[in-house]
Structure 1
Amino acid sequence: MPTITTRVEDAVQRRSFLAGAAGVAAGMSAAAPGRADARAEEDADPVAYAGTTARLRARYWTNEPAHLLPDAVRHVRTGTALLARRADARVAASVAESALLVSRIAFFDLQLGEQRVGAWQDLALAAADTAKDGALGAAVLGHMAFAPAWSGRAGEARGRLAAARARASRGEGGPVMRAWLDAVASEAEVRLGNPRAAFPYLDRAAGALHPADAGVGSWSAAGPPVWLDWFSGPRLDGFRGAAELAAGRPDHAKATLRRTLAGLDPDSDKQRAVTLADLAAAAVAARDPEDACALLHQVLDLVERQGYATAVDRVRTVRAALAPWSGERFVAELDDRLAASQAVPS
């Protein structure tokens, strides 16, 4: 899609991204300027700034998203202030990672709307280009494919993934980045109503993560970038299970999704919630509504501890599929919990 690629490259080449960053951050943070200035002094050294970036990255998996978002926004503002005073590739890479983190919270965790998410993604892409980090640029472009895929804009989603692959070929993400981009492509095809088209991408991703000529579980000699902490072999199984479910293979999906659960790290509650919801959908497809409701209760246990709007959407989708059993006690109990849950707004 030349028009999409041209638009992406134009955004990347903008030299005024630092000026725009202040406006973007101001629109999403109520922090007083004095606090941002104090943080800038605290993190004036690029090494210190990168350390704060790493701490925010780790917090994504355990903190309430609404609590983490203001801190991440302030950190981006601090970084753009540092770059305005002195160009530094390390700081630019940290700004790119942190702006991407803000966009992930806004899109996956809080669903604040595509327009607000897109502004942060544009900033992250421009900062990655300033850092000359092709892998980070590919990661941002991969994330930019989710919103159009979820809203049915096929050309836009596929065009952004094509641009991401071009960046990845020039970056240091290696096989893990390529595998993740294929996993995103598989989800895009599922969302666009072509689940069978997802499987070649999934097979290629599996081959990249676990090449036949390497040891079991091998990734690459250098390993993935440290910030690429949202993807792994078990998470690839999650993409495959969702595709199998969409393709009408609930039995295959159950086995794959259970493998996902078994392989997840202890702090992967967000992925665990989504996987349990997909297992509930597989139970509905197998006409086992009581098991589906039991699984949804487990999802609610997780999202009530740490809100995650993507999992909430899955709960709503499965509940709609339970309509034929609405008169059953176990469905009524689930409805009562949904009505009472503050983590699942109507």
Structure 2
Amino acid sequence: MTSSRRPPNRDLAWERLQRGWSHDEVARRVSIEMDRAGETYTGLTANTVRRWETGERHPEPRYRKHLVTVFGKPASELGLLTPDELKMRPEPRTGKQGDMAADAGSGPDWDRAAVLRALLGTSALPLLSPLLSVTSIEGEEPAGSAAVDPEAYAKIANGQRELYWSSPARLLFEASFAHTHLGVTLVRGARGTRRTALATGLVQSALLAGRLAFFDLSQPAVAARCYEVALTASKEAGDHALAATVLGHMAFIPGFSQDPDSARNLIAAALQHCWHGVQPIVRSWLHAVSSEIEARGGAAASSRHKIDLAEASLPDQPGDLPWFDFYDAGRLDCFAGYAALATGDHPEAARRLASAADRLGADGSKQRSVVLADLAAAHGRDGDRVADFLGQAITALTSDWYATGLERLRATRPLLGDSQHGRHLDEQIKALPRAS
């Protein structure tokens, strides 16, 4: 190892954080790979890995080859190549060859067309057909793109985010997706601080598109593609709070599809980012998300424990993250009510959910249908109250469509059995206007 100081290796540190690994874990995995290769163990420590990331040391070739294996990334994407070695790389190729997931990756040669193809995967075509007229551009960026003001791009992303609570989901998704598409182009053509600022706006735009696709339109495959772009952009932005938030949203996808282990890994990675000066409210939300994932996975006791952690982390005053507008004490009550339902504590569930309903303001209109459906579940032995709450949930969905609310309503519907209330509710569900 050389003793000359190098710039911090942000690429290596970021890849470690994305996996939720500690410095000890990286050292352990490299040592395992060395053992498999029959190489002499050299006593690699967490402190050495930390010094690789800070730039105090540069990994020797014997470590570099194993880091490539451990992370499953080329040396150029792990910051392991020296400036002289980087000059020896062949020129990047653009076009329609290669693996989609790799094409949608990071780095200075980010290919807009490839990212667009990832977003427009075949499973997404029916939903995204209105956007297929947007032409992808190969090669150089359009004239004038280098002069775009990052603040102007972010202003539109913020405006679309504010429209989330009051706009038709499908139309807003199309606008947000188009803005994400534009953002990929702009980030690819930018350098330095402009690139960082544009990437920050792109994270927010892609995150909004993913939220709309998953929670409002019930399109998890599309949401996954949007989140992948957001995660890549968060690395360009170097923003740990955004990265943690994207990973937390990504966890909902396996969490809702009965794959709690994959969801837990994403939450663990998100929490690793929280050690880097991220506001406490983000950590609280991650614990709340983890609570719902545990409840859905049947781990009721763990779900309640995560609520305890979320409450302990919730700050007394709101933070200074204007884009983090989907979580507060009222939303925590929503998560807590669901966790109480999972443990069969219906009185506690009813108490927390009633509190949530009281706290939901104008920007909680979509969440209201979820809360009402859960309130129905909390009063499961009282058929009249179940029917009343589910009827209110139907009304909420009529004015503010939310696919997650419909999913929760359908999960509670069996409580009414083959009753008059149940049959009437079925007719109301059939008559619901879908996302427009």
TM-score scaled by structure 2? 0.69
Letter in 1 for 2:171: H
SS at match of 2:166: coil
Residue deviations 1:139-173 (CA, integer Å, cap 9, x gap): 11111111112222222111111100011222x43
1:57 Cα offset (Å): 0.5
| CA distance in structure 2 between the partners assigned to 1:182 and 1:78 by the alignment | 33
Residue deviations 1:270-306 (CA, integer Å, cap 9, x gap): 111110110011111xx11111111111111111122
Q: How does 1:8-47 map to 2 (within 5 A)?
A: 14-15=106-107, 17-19=110-112, 20-26=114-120, 28=128, 30-31=130-131, 32-33=133-134, 44-47=148-151
| CA distance in structure 1 between the partners assigned to 2:115 and 2:136 by the alignment | 17
Aligned to 1:71: 175
1:95 Cα offset (Å): 0.5
Aligned to 1:133: 239
Q: How does 1:118-267 map to 2 (within 5 A)?
A: 118-170=224-276, 172-210=277-315, 217-219=316-318, 223-267=319-363
Residue deviations 1:7-61 (CA, integer Å, cap 9, x gap): 79988973254433232345536344379999x97x9211111110110110111
Letter in 2 for 1:277: A
List runs of 5+ in structure 2 lacking aligned partners: 1-15, 21-70, 79-101, 122-127
- The structure richer in helix per residue is 1
Aligned to 2:189: 85
Residue deviations 1:233-261 (CA, integer Å, cap 9, x gap): 11001100000011101111101101111
| CA distance in structure 1 between the partners assigned to 2:130 and 2:118 by the alignment | 12
Letter in 2 for 1:100: L
| CA distance in structure 2 between the partners assigned to 1:76 and 1:335 by the alignment | 38
Aligned to 2:405: 311
1:218 Cα offset (Å): 2.6
1:333 Cα offset (Å): 2.1
SS at match of 1:218: coil
* Bigger shift: residues 151-160 or 255-264: 151-160
Are the aligned partners of 2:330 and 2:355 in contact in 1 as well (CA < 8 Å)? yes
Q: 1:173 to 1:273 in 2, by over 3 A?
A: farther
Aligned to 2:386: 292
Q: 1:200 to 1:306 in 2, by over 3 A?
A: same
Residue deviations 1:184-238 (CA, integer Å, cap 9, x gap): 111111011011111222112112214xxxxxx434xxx1411111100110011
SS at match of 2:363: coil
Aligned to 2:427: 336
| CA distance in structure 2 between the partners assigned to 1:305 and 1:151 by the alignment | 27
Aligned to 2:372: 276
SS at match of 2:379: helix
1:262 Cα offset (Å): 1.1
Aligned to 1:320: 414
| CA distance in structure 1 between the partners assigned to 2:338 and 2:432 by the alignment | 26
| CA distance in structure 2 between the partners assigned to 1:44 and 1:137 by the alignment | 24
CA RMSD in angstroms, aligned pairs only: 2.8
Letter in 2 for 1:167: H
| CA distance in structure 1 between the partners assigned to 2:431 and 2:154 by the alignment | 41
List runs of 5+ in structure 1 lacking aligned partners: 211-216
* Bigger shift: residues 13-22 or 265-274: 13-22
| CA distance in structure 2 between the partners assigned to 1:4 and 1:146 by the alignment | 16
Are the aligned partners of 1:29 and 1:70 in contact in 2 as well (CA < 8 Å)? no
Q: 1:35 to 1:57 in 2, by over 3 A?
A: farther
Are the aligned partners of 1:29 and 1:74 in contact in 2 as well (CA < 8 Å)? no
SS at match of 1:111: coil
| CA distance in structure 2 between the partners assigned to 1:269 and 1:177 by the alignment | 22
1:336 Cα offset (Å): 2.2
Letter in 1 for 2:376: A
SS at match of 1:127: helix
Letter in 2 for 1:303: L
Runs of 4+ aligned residues of structure 1 deviating over 6 Å after TM superposition are 7-13, 34-38
1:84 Cα offset (Å): 2.1
Residue deviations 1:307-340 (CA, integer Å, cap 9, x gap): 21100011111112321xx23x333322221232
| CA distance in structure 2 between the partners assigned to 1:159 and 1:34 by the alignment | 36
Of structures 1 and 2, the larger Rg is shown by: 2
TM-score scaled by structure 1? 0.86
Residue deviations 1:63-104 (CA, integer Å, cap 9, x gap): 111110110011011111212221321110111111111111
Are the aligned partners of 1:102 and 1:120 in contact in 2 as well (CA < 8 Å)? yes
| CA distance in structure 2 between the partners assigned to 1:135 and 1:53 by the alignment | 17
Letter in 1 for 2:317: S
Aligned to 1:214: none
Q: 1:279 to 1:127 in 2, by over 3 A?
A: same
| CA distance in structure 1 between the partners assigned to 2:202 and 2:160 by the alignment | 12
1:4 Cα offset (Å): 5.6
Residue deviations 1:93-146 (CA, integer Å, cap 9, x gap): 111111111111111111113x32211111100000001011101111111111
